[in-house]
Structure 1
Amino acid sequence: MIKARPLVIRVVAAVSIVAVPIVSALALQREDKTTPDLGLLAGVIQLVNRAYVHPVGQDALTKDALKGMLNRLDPHSDYMDEDEFKQMQTDMSGQFGGLGMQITAQGGVPSIVSPIDDTPAARARLEPGDMIIKVGATSTQGMSLRKVVDMLRGEPGSKVTITILRGKEEPFDVSLTREIIRVASVKSELKPDRIGYVRISQFGNDTSEGFKSALTRLKTDAAGTGLKGLVIDLRNDPGGLLTAAVDVSGNLLNGGAVVSIRGREANDQHVFNAPAKGDMLPGVPVVVLINGASASASEIVAGALQDRKRATVIGTQSFGKGSVQTVIPIKGHGAVRLTTALYYTPSGRSIQDDGITPDVIEEAPKDQQISGGPLVRESALSGAIANPGQFDKRPGAAAKPQTDMPAKDVNKAAYSAPIRADLIGKPEDAQLKVAVNYFDKPPAAQPSAR
Structure 2
Amino acid sequence: MKFKVVVLLALISVSLLNSILVLADDLYQQDDILAITKETGFNMDEFYRPKADILIDAKTGSILYGDNIDVVRDSGSMAKLMTAYVLFLAIKDGKLNYDTVITASASDQAISENSDLSNVPIYAGVDYPISDLINMLFVPSSSAATIMIANAVSDNDPDAFLDLMNQRAQEIGMTNSKWYNPNGAPTSVLRGLYTPTRYDNHATNEITARDMAILGYHLVNEFPEALDYTKNSSVTVMKGTPYQATYDNYNASLEGGKHALKGADGLKTGSSPTADYNYSVTVKRGNQRFIEIIMGVGHYDVELAESYRHIIGNALAEKMFQEYEYKEILTAGEHQINGKTYQLEQPFYATVKKGTQPTLTVKNNQLSVDNGLQSLSPNIKTTLTVTEKGGFFSLPNTTNAVKFNPMWIFCLLPIGILKWIFMKTNSTRK
Q: Name the TM-score, length of structure 2 as normaliser.
A: 0.22
Q: Name the TM-score, length of structure 1 as normaliser.
A: 0.21
Q: Which has the higher helix share?
A: 2
| Greater radius of gyration (CA) | 2
